[in-house]
């Protein structure tokens, strides 16, 4: 599932190639991919629009439009944006929406598992009104501060791993980067969130920021099928310290990596390095 580094990599791969491009035609192949407004409203709203700079908030992409408004995108489990110029000659499987661009290019939304969603947000609407979860997102990890983190966690006795996955606490972190950040900070994933002292919380904030920055620089993590809008896979999977390394030797201490189920998801950690 794409997390912040993957979504940011997609945004960067679109930044210079999409800005200035005009939408000529909208081809919706699976109605459930369009979350707002109606199918007709989505097509009519987008045709004739020109893309500006794409933005990201948490795991959401907001592709700006020159007349105001946005094309909102959430990739969820398996969504991909593919920008091809000239268009693909073969018909890819699982294409849900195709935006035909003036000059012949195409922006494809491919989504095998069909959880991804697109929104056309009119100039007189705001992204947070159309996509309510946007309004509830916590700060971007790059903007995390100790005072905020301390007060947000003070009354929460849930496991710190579970807390990090809560998009209202901090936006954009999923299972992979929560595990990696906790390893780098030396914190056991089951530690109650309100039992971390300021020194450990400071270390955790630094670890989150470092892990995410390094993952962005590596173009994200490709475990199965993630790729940017150019079809370029990520590289960070070669640098994962704990995630997906069950029973392999910890790269710091040599002991086997542990795994436990937490809230329906696997947590990977080192019993020796994370206390």
Residues assigned a catalytic role: 2-3, 59, 265
Rounded CA-CA distance 2/64 in Å is 21
DSSP label at residue 192: B
- Residue among 174, 223, 33, 2 nearest 11 (CA): 2
Binding mask 194-233 for Zn ion (x = CB under 5 A): ----------------------------------------
The least CB distance from residue 268 to Zn ion, in Å, is: 11
Rank residues 74 and 188 by Cβ distance to Zn ion and give the closer one: 188
The least CB distance from residue 96 to Zn ion, in Å, is: 42
By beta-carbon distance, which residue lies closest to Zn ion? 250
- Residue among 162, 218, 161 nearest 185 (CA): 161
Give 143's Cβ-side CA count (13 Å radius): 10
The least CB distance from residue 181 to Zn ion, in Å, is: 15
Which of residues 50, 55, 114, 272 is near Zn ion by CB under 5 A? Answer: 272
Rank residues 42 and 269 by Cβ distance to Zn ion and give the closer one: 269
The least CB distance from residue 257 to Zn ion, in Å, is: 8
Instruction: Report in angstroms the alpha-carbon separations of 205 from 43, 184, 185.
Output: 42, 10, 9
- In the region spanning residues 79 to 108, those forming contacts with Zn ion, defined by CB under 5 A, are none
Rounded CA-CA distance 153/137 in Å is 15
Binding mask 239-258 for Zn ion (x = CB under 5 A): -----------x-xx-----
Give every strand in the sheet of 70-74, ordered side by side.
Answer: 34-36, 117-121, 70-74, 60-65, 51-57
- The yes or no reply on residue 270 touching Zn ion (CB under 5 A) is yes
Question: Which residues contribute to the site for Zn ion (CB under 5 A)?
Answer: 250, 252-253, 270, 272-273
């Amino acid at each position: 599932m794409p997390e912040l580094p993957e979504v940011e990599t997609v945004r960067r791969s679109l930044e210079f190639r999409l800005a200035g491009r005009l939408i000529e035609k909208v081809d919706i192949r699976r109605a459930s991919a369009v979350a707002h407004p109606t199918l007709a409203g989505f097509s009519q709203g987008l045709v004739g629009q020109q893309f500006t700079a794409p933005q990201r908030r948490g795991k959401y992409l907001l592709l700006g439009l020159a007349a105001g408004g946005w094309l909102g995108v959430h990739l969820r489990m398996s969504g991909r944006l593919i920008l091809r110029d000239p268009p693909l000659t073969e018909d890819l499987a699982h294409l849900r929406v195709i935006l035909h661009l003036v000059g012949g290019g195409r922006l494809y939304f491919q989504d095998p598992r069909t959880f991804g969603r697109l929104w056309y947000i009119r100039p007189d609407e705001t992204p947070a009104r159309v996509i309510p979860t946007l309004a509830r997102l916590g700060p971007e990890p790059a903007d995390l501060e100790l005072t905020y983190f301390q007060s947000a966690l003070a009354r929460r006795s849930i496991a710190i791993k579970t807390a990090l996955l809560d998009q209202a606490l901090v936006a954009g972190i999923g299972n992979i980067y929560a595990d990696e950040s906790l390893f780098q900070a030396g914190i056991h994933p089951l530690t109650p969130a309100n039992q971390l002292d300021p020194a450990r919380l400071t270390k955790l904030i630094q670890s989150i920021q470092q892990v995410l920055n390094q993952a962005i620089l590596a173009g994200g993590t490709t475990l199965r099928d993630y790729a940017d809008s150019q079809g370029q896979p990520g590289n960070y999977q070669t640098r994962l310290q704990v995630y997906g390394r069950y029973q392999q030797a910890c790269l710091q201490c040599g002991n086997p990596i542990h795994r436990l189920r937490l809230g329906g998801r696997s947590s990977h950690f080192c019993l020796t390095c994370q206390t």
